[in-house]
Structure 1
């Protein structure tokens, strides 16, 4: 993975997210809008996730060493896990504040400037989400893709705040804290989803289903009688796998090794995000049938 480009992308997005969060927080406090302040806090965690991403990808880019012979790629996933936990804490705070606002009955002061700030920051977030998603898919970066989903949810949250402004303007002030509660629930759901996906990678769950593709790739290689026990782990873009293949038992070690290298190269090239494949050689039957 091109970690340098991932980090450059995160720096650009961090600057934009800070601008968005500060604008929402300042004008939300001025207007006394709980939903806008909650949205600002949500946006601030976009910035926090960018900072964690910069630190995590910096470590993930390090080459394998004695203590980490398989590399440091999972540090990126660990950073994603931290973001998920922070989002759960944010959801708790937003929901608590929403409940308090319901009991006090405070009404936000909505102006054309407040609405303008929300519209402008929403447009910025749409650009950030599309840009980050495109780069994430191009580089197969699980962190950028997950973070783009985070930013996309911020867009929907901002739209819900604007809807709340409209309802409050029509004479229904309870809409503001109720929308804040909905925002808190959305942030909590997002945090749980991020934790679940990161947990799957860290526990070596199969995050990409590519068995059928691998079977077709191996079947096309001359000299392979059969294959079995394919296993794959790691995040999309940083996957490792191993597979058992059977060959003619009359082959020399050199010939069998050449086939194993061909299988490894074919799977690495044919499966997006596959970084390393270990091929185990087993003798098949002399009549060409795979050994069971």
Structure 2
């Protein structure tokens, strides 16, 4: 029995609205960083701007993916199109990887060719301003991602958070250059690559977990709540998959072999209702009903 409501469509609409707002903020920040990075001849600031620009590209990718993910289930996609959201998260991870390569190129260029950025109070002020914008965007997107249970928003929030780390590192490099350490521009840029790589790994890991059908619920907890239904003698072969807010479960229960088909079906319905009550994220439960066998001959079966 599948839980049917209009909330997924509303959720996707809200996710798209959040992404559109963040797209505007990311590209405004990117343009400011790129302009002042070019004007000041700073590899770190320019790389930071490129990173922010890729943030905007990630938002565009997310908007396209959410347009697909919001489509209802159809004959070819009976479980819906939700995994397109995870695919978009993989795309974000790939974009972070591209940004990391660009950071490395610019860092070595700065170190090998002894490029010294021109530090000005205006440049410092712009970087502080973009830092505050990134912090606000990260907090807003993370809260919305948790509220809407969107892996895409949560992934993009981590991506934007990496921008905060990058900008902080750039501010440090600006200060060091001003104090007479010009190579700090390239060195700090290299250090930022480690932060970017870690963010990319976290995003890819989450997306792969969804796409590879990693278990979403603890089988023991599912079995425990299933066995609370009167008439269910055992529960086994519990499987779950899906996304954080959209989980599918299938399991096997054993009942008295003397039960009628109608009564066995009622027990299956009761199990579905019980699990959806205990796990609000569960939208579909498939219960396989089997006649009870001797527990002693089947090790590992949960019984009550």
Q: TM-score range by the shorter chain?
A: over 0.9
Unaligned runs of at least 5 residues, structure 1: none
Q: Deviations over 1:79-134 (max 9, x none)?
A: 11112122212211210121111011111111111111111111111111111111
- Quick check: 1:126 aligned with 2:154? no
**Where does 1:223-242 land on structure 2 (aligned, <5 Å)?**
223-242=231-250
- Quick check: 1:173 aligned with 2:186? no
**Where does 1:5-20 land on structure 2 (aligned, <5 Å)?**
5-20=14-29
Any conservation in 2 of the 1:140–1:273 contact (CA below 8 Å)?
A: no
Q: Distance in 2 between matches of 1:41 and 1:269?
A: 47
4+ long deviations beyond 4 Å: none
Which among 148, 157, 160 is matched to residue 148 of structure 1?
Answer: 157
Which among 99, 102, 112 is matched to residue 111 of structure 2?
Answer: 102
Any conservation in 2 of the 1:39–1:183 contact (CA below 8 Å)?
A: no
- TM-score w.r.t. the length of structure 2 is 0.89
Shift of 1:273: 2.7
- Quick check: 1:87 aligned with 2:91? no
- Equivalent residue number for residue 216 of structure 1: 224
Q: Distance in 2 between matches of 1:95 and 1:56?
A: 29
Shift of 1:27: 1.2
- Quick check: 1:74 aligned with 2:83? yes
- TM-score w.r.t. the length of structure 1 is 0.93
Q: Distance in 2 between matches of 1:203 and 1:243?
A: 19
Q: Distance in 2 between matches of 1:154 and 1:20?
A: 10
Alignment RMSD, CA only?
A: 1.8
Q: Distance in 2 between matches of 1:141 and 1:51?
A: 16
Shift of 1:143: 0.7
Which among 139, 144, 163 is matched to residue 135 of structure 1?
Answer: 144
Secondary structure, counterpart of 2:243 in structure 1: coil
Q: Deviations over 1:66-91 (max 9, x none)?
A: 22122111111111111212221221
Q: Distance in 2 between matches of 1:270 and 1:290?
A: 30
Q: Distance in 2 between matches of 1:279 and 1:24?
A: 56
Q: Deviations over 1:197-219 (max 9, x none)?
A: 2222212222x342233123212
Shift of 1:188: 2.9
